[in-house]
Amino acid sequence: MKIFITGASGHIGGALTADLLAAGHQVLGLARSDAAAARLAALGAEVVRGDLDATDVLTATAKAADGVVHLAYKHELALSGAPDGFARAADFDLQVVEALGEALAGSGKPLVGTGGTLLLAGLGAHLGAPAAGAPRRPGTEEDTLPGGPRADSENALVALADRGVRTSSVRLSPTVHSDLDHHGFIPSLIAMARRNGFSAYVGDGSNRWPAVHTRDAARLYRLAVERAPAGSRLHGVADEGVPFRAIAEAIGRGAGVPARGASPRRTPRPPSGSSRGSSRSTTPRRAPAPRPSSTGTRPTRASSTTSPRATTSRPEDRAQRARQRSIMRRSRTSSSGSGLDFSCTSAA
């Protein structure tokens, strides 16, 4: 297959490009700079010059490809400090998803988008506080939000399944770790710890962050573009439910600073129907939960120097995959006051 990737030269995109090429696919990689183009060419990808603002380039390349993986995002805008920067970046991402979907409508081609397991924390505001003593339940790939930043893009992506596009959304863990990660959450937290003289966690630090290795995440994207059913939501998770205090303490040990709790500050939440500052909204559509064998995914626990090999469909592997229920599609995240602890497995 000839796969078009936005964000192909980035942290996960570079690993995905290498994984796709190793599996015998061709890669068309979007590059907005000479440096990005050089990195992609060195990997063996065909370079497509442009950026997310070049809608004509995006749609023309999507039509020429056999499938699309959308990884790029306007992180600079989202983290710019502008009052509406986060919402504007999310709204722009929705426009890109809609443009790619329009280009692929009726083709049956795969379109894989990107979300995050942290989106499920927004279910706290949507569902309300649980009754006192009520048990918490696992958050799964079937859980959705009616709208909001990035949730709008996921809902629009899943809805494109009704228009003849084999869509799937990979919800990444907040920690996607490897020696390839230089700008993600963990490097940022390390930099803040060094700058502030302590490594912070919120409250008692019991909120949980899942994690996944970069090369495992890349492999999940490849399997999604190869075989995920239309309308799938897939959790890119290997290490489940890591207490954030443990993360902060590990960072503190590495940086030579103490770990310290900080009081949470509540901030206004955006309206449940759309991104803050955006007039756009998306009608939520619940996609069928992906079957445990839909991608045949197993975590490789790859080291930073070895790439995972593709999982085959050998009979001896099927029983193990059924028992594991595809650990890459599980998640444990945290939610405040929703009755959901997101601490168990994905939907079966």
CA distance 207 to 225: 32
Per-residue pLDDT tens, the chain, 348 aa: give them. Answer: 999 999 999 999 999 999 999 999 999 999 999 999 999 999 999 999 999 999 999 999 999 999 999 999 998 998 888 989 999 999 999 999 999 999 999 999 999 999 998 888 766 655 555 555 666 665 678 888 888 889 999 999 999 999 999 999 999 998 898 888 777 788 889 999 999 999 999 999 988 888 999 999 999 999 999 999 999 999 999 888 789 999 999 999 999 999 999 887 654 444 443 443 343 433 333 333 444 435 554 443 322 222 222 333 333 333 333 333 332 333 333 333 333 333 323 332
Q: How far apart are CA 190 and CA 255, in angstroms?
A: 7
How distant, in Å, are the alpha carbons of 1, 120, 298, 320 from that of 313?
20, 32, 11, 11
Burial of residue 73, with CB atoms counted within 10 A of its CB: 0-12 exposed, 13-18 middle, 19 or more buried: buried
Scanning the chain, the segments in alpha helix (DSSP H) are 11-22, 34-43, 55-64, 75-78, 85-104, 123-127, 151-159, 185-196, 214-227, 244-255, 315-324
Tokens 């064998």 correspond to what residue? 293
Query: What pTM value is reported for the model?
Result: 0.76
Name residue, tokens 């995920």: 228
Residues in contact with 54: Cβ distance below 8 Å, sequence separation at least 6, in sequence order: none
CA atoms of 253 and 247, how far apart (whole Å): 10
Handedness of CA 169, 170, 173, 177 (dihedral sign): negative
